[in-house]
């Protein structure tokens, strides 16, 4: 059983760790392998999400196709949790995280870009993109800055499942809906 009471396997996304924990993991992985691993910048994440979309649309609660595309807020989530926000009017079968790859990949072959776990990126959160680096690099800030999360979780309402949506996460947050995507830099 997972930390929050759901069945997890090695095929599930890693959740319930803080941004600091994820940073420590990629540093450890880099030392262990001799390769450079890191979490993407917000711009890198959004570029991969946007260019790999099968379709571009605004998702609505009544759109049953959402349950075939994403693990997001739906009847399964509503049956387990009391949620006050809009959800899909269908059932994807998962109130919490699903095994990675259970839902269709985008055109880049990336699974679960939207839904399943909001992905914490390397950038510090600022309310707007004004002043953000134009080259796709990480937008830094104070060491204890809140980080950006993208992509939506099993609780995500339909409107959150789009590339531009972003939320902030405190440096010590340990949410069951937050995960990360790891990049390996090529020489």
- Classify domain 19-182 by CATH number: 3.90.1580.10
Residue 7: strand, helix, or coil: coil
Q: Tell me what pLDDT residue 83 has.
A: 67
pLDDT per residue rounded down to tens, the chain (187 residues)? 344 566 788 899 999 888 889 999 999 999 999 999 999 999 999 999 988 776 667 788 888 888 999 999 999 999 898 767 889 999 999 999 999 999 999 888 999 999 999 999 999 999 999 999 999 999 999 888 999 999 999 999 998 898 999 999 988 888 888 999 999 999 8
Alpha carbons 181 and 187: distance in angstroms, whole number: 19
C-alpha to C-alpha distances, 179 to 21, 125, 161, nearest whole angstrom: 10, 16, 15
Q: What is the pLDDT of residue 48?
A: 92
Q: How crowded is residue 54: how many other Cβ atoms within 10 Å of its Cβ?
A: 10
Q: What is the pLDDT of residue 165?
A: 93
What is the SS3 assignment for 91? coil
Look at residues 90, 23, 26, 18 and name the one whose alpha carbon lies nearest to residue 59.
90
What is the model's pLDDT at position 3?
A: 42
**pLDDT given at position 2:** 42
Contact by Cβ (8 Å): 118, 151: yes
pTM, whole model, 2 decimals?
0.90
């Amino acid at each position: 059983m997972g930390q929050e009471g759901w069945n997890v396997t090695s095929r599930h996304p890693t959740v319930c760790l803080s941004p600091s924990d994820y940073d420590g993991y990629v540093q450890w992985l880099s030392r262990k392998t001799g390769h450079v691993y890191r979490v993407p910048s917000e711009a890198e994440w959004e570029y991969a999400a946007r260019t790999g979309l099968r379709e571009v649309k605004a998702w609505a609660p009544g759109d049953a196709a959402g349950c075939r595309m994403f693990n997001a807020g739906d009847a399964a989530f509503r049956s387990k949790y009391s949620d006050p926000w809009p959800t899909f009017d269908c059932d994807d079968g998962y109130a919490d995280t699903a095994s990675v790859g259970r839902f269709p990949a985008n055109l880049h072959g990336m699974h679960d870009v939207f839904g399943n776990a909001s992905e914490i990126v390397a950038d510090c959160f600022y309310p707007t993109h004004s002043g953000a680096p134009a080259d796709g690099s990480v937008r830094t800030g104070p060491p204890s800055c809140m980080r950006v999360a993208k992509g939506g979780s099993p609780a995500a309402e339909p409107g959150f499942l789009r590339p531009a949506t972003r939320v902030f996460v405190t440096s010590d947050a340990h949410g069951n809906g937050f995960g990360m995507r790891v990049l390996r830099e090529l020489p």
